[in-house]
């Protein structure tokens, strides 16, 4: 484990630049029980930043596995009312959110996928108001990560456990620009400026659609909703407070038109969905919907994702990321979407972010749906970028503009 001062620097960055906790504001931290030592540092840094209350919700993966192994479908599909009321309280009191995302890839491989589906639908249905609250940027929220033993051993299987954890810590801290000899806050401010520049250029072009091609077989056209907005880096919540929702982040992302996606996309990295690792998969879209799919591993899990609800087989996000980024150049497969999505252009199956259309954060879901925004209880990013990715945008006056060449932005 890194020295305490380096961990404190990371925690301070997450609290002040990620969630940007305001003086007098409460903070909710969702995390893995195994990370309790790092979480305590985050709690202290949150109070130093002025948080009024810090509430920690711990998740124990082993207990979760036992629950899925032994509970009945009926019990897995029941969300106690006290949990629903708890999240209502978080909304009413204006909690900021920090999620420390650290799942063990493949942990649920031996669990009946139907059980995972039942629990997922129940949770997403019961906590839909909280999901809409955060995805609609009605508060600040931030997702970071830290190593668990099971995750580290999956990423570095040839190392002994302690060495694997140390190496994963090094990779994570490098990805979020935290070093002993730097000011990560200053580096993030510079990084956000670069992402804002790309946002501005993409918004100025106001493309009708983007056409993605590479040698792996991706040949996909993604239409964008009218009045779409490109975002990336730091964002503002509905009260005007800046925050960084993802650390690390390298993406510029926007909203596809739900019924305007056509062609084939070949995934370039595995997708960890509900503890099952979906590998080497291909999706074919017609008028926005996945009409054909195949995966070499965990195809049943892919099927569960696509059939999770009516919107999970449509896209809610398209994100552009240059191949030449720190995470990509590390040549590490993290088996963790937060990191792997920032090594590659990606798409998200499921719900769209309201902020990606002008005025979207103040619209009802019905108004967003009328514009062609996808709605779902899921939002699952998968990676399809490659070293030879070519992206051509079509402007409103039907001019073609080269956006990516050889996997990277040309501007």
**337-348 confidence digits (pLDDT tens):** 899 989 899 999
Q: Can you tell me which residue has the tokens 């503890």?
A: 275
- Which pLDDT band holds residue 189 (cuts at 50, 70, 90)? very high
Is the four-CA dihedral 351, 251, 243, 147 of positive or negative sign? positive
* pLDDT on residue 411: 87
Residue 328 has pLDDT above 90, yes or no: no
Asked if the model's pLDDT at residue 386 lies above 90, the reply is: yes
Q: What is the pLDDT of residue 122?
A: 97
Q: What is the pLDDT of residues 331-380, one digit of tens each?
A: 899 999 899 989 899 999 999 999 999 999 999 999 999 999 999 999 99
Query: For all residues of the chain together, what is the average pLDDT?
Result: 96
Domains and CATH numbers, the chain: 4-175 (3.40.1830.10), 198-409 (no CATH)
Rounded mean pLDDT, 298-304: 96
Q: What is the C-alpha separation between 318 and 100, in angstroms, rounded?
A: 24
pLDDT of residue 138: 97
Residue 159 has pLDDT above 90, yes or no: yes
**pLDDT category of residue 278 using cuts at 50, 70 and 90:** very high
- Helix or strand holding residue 411 (H, E): none
Model pLDDT, residue 207: 98
Residue 356 CA, chain-centre distance (Å), reads: 15
Residue with tokens 């609800």: 309
pLDDT digits (tens, 9 = 90+) for 194-227: 999 999 999 999 999 999 999 999 999 999 999 9
CB 257 within 8 A of CB 285: no
Q: Name the pLDDT band for 2 (thresholds 50, 70, 90).
A: confident
150 vs 152: CA distance, rounded Å: 6
Q: What percent of the chain has pLDDT over 90?
A: 95
What pLDDT is stored for residue 275 in this prediction? 83
What are the residue ranges of helices labelled H in 206-312? 299-306
pTM: 0.88
Cα–Cα dist 102/83, whole Å? 22
Paired strand residues for 209:
223, 394
Give all strands (DSSP E) within 60-191, no chain letters: 96-100, 141-144
Q: Is the pLDDT reported for residue 382 higher than 90?
A: yes
At residue 324 the predicted structure's pLDDT band, cuts being 50, 70 and 90, is confident
Radius of gyration of the chain (CA): 20
**Helical spans, DSSP H, in 254-374:** 299-306, 326-329, 337-340, 365-371
Residue 9's pLDDT is: 97
pLDDT of 326 reads 84
Q: How many C-alpha atoms does 177 have within 13 Å on its Cβ side? A: 22
pLDDT confidence bin for 115, thresholds 50/70/90: very high
CB of 19 closer than 8 Å to CB of 97: yes
Question: Residue 305: helix, strand or coil by DSSP?
Answer: helix
- The SS3 of residue 256 is strand
Residue carrying structure tokens 């070293």? 387
DSSP 7-44: HHHHHHHIIIIIS-PPTT--EEEEEEGGGHHHHHHHHH
232-241 pLDDT, tens digit per residue, is: 999 999 999 9
Give per-residue pLDDT as tens, 243-258.
Answer: 999 999 999 999 999 9
């Amino acid at each position: 484990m890194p020295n305490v001062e380096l961990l404190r620097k990371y925690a301070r960055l997450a609290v002040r630049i990620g969630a940007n906790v305001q003086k007098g504001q409460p903070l909710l931290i969702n995390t893995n029980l195994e990370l309790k030592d790092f979480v305590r540092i985050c709690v202290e840094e949150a109070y130093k930043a002025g948080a009024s209350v810090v509430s920690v919700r711990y998740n124990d993966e082993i207990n979760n596995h036992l629950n899925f192994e032994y509970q009945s479908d009926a019990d897995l599909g029941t969300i106690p009312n006290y949990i629903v009321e708890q999240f209502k309280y978080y909304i009413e009191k204006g909690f900021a959110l920090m999620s420390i995302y650290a799942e063990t890839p493949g942990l649920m491989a031996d669990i009946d996928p139907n059980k995972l589906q039942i629990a997922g639908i129940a949770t997403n249905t019961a906590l839909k108001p909280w999901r809409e609250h955060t995805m609609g940027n009605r508060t600040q929220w931030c997702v970071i990560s830290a190593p668990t033993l099971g995750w580290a051993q999956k990423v570095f299987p040839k190392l002994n456990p302690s060495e694997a954890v140390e190496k994963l810590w090094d990779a994570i801290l490098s990805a979020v620009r935290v070093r002993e000899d730097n000011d990560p806050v200053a580096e993030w401010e510079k990084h956000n400026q670069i992402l804002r520049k790309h946002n501005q250029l993409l918004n100025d072009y106001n493309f009708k659609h983007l056409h993605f091609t590479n040698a792996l077989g991706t040949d996909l056209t993604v239409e964008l909703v009218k009045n779409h907005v490109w975002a990336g880096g730091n964002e503002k919540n509905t009260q005007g407070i800046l925050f960084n929702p993802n650390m690390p982040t390298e993406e510029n992302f926007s909203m596809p038109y739900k019924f305007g996606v056509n062609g084939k996309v070949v995934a370039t990295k595995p997708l960890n969905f509900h503890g099952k690792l979906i590998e080497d998969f291909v999706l074919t879209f017609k008028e926005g919907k996945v009409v054909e799919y195949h995966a070499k591993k965990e195809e049943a899990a892919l099927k569960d994702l696509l059939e999770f609800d009516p919107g999970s087989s449509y896209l809610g996000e398209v994100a552009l990321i240059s191949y030449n980024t720190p995470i990509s150049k590390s040549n590490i497969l993290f088996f963790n979407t937060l990191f792997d999505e920032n090594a590659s252009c990606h798409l998200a199956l499921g719900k769209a972010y309201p902020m990606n259309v002008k005025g979207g954060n103040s619209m009802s879901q019905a108004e967003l749906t009328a514009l062609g925004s996808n709605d779902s209880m899921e939002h699952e990013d998968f990676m399809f970028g490659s070293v030879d990715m070519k992206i051509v945008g079509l402007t409103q006056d039907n001019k073609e503009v080269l956006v990516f060449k050889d996997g990277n932005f040309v501007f």
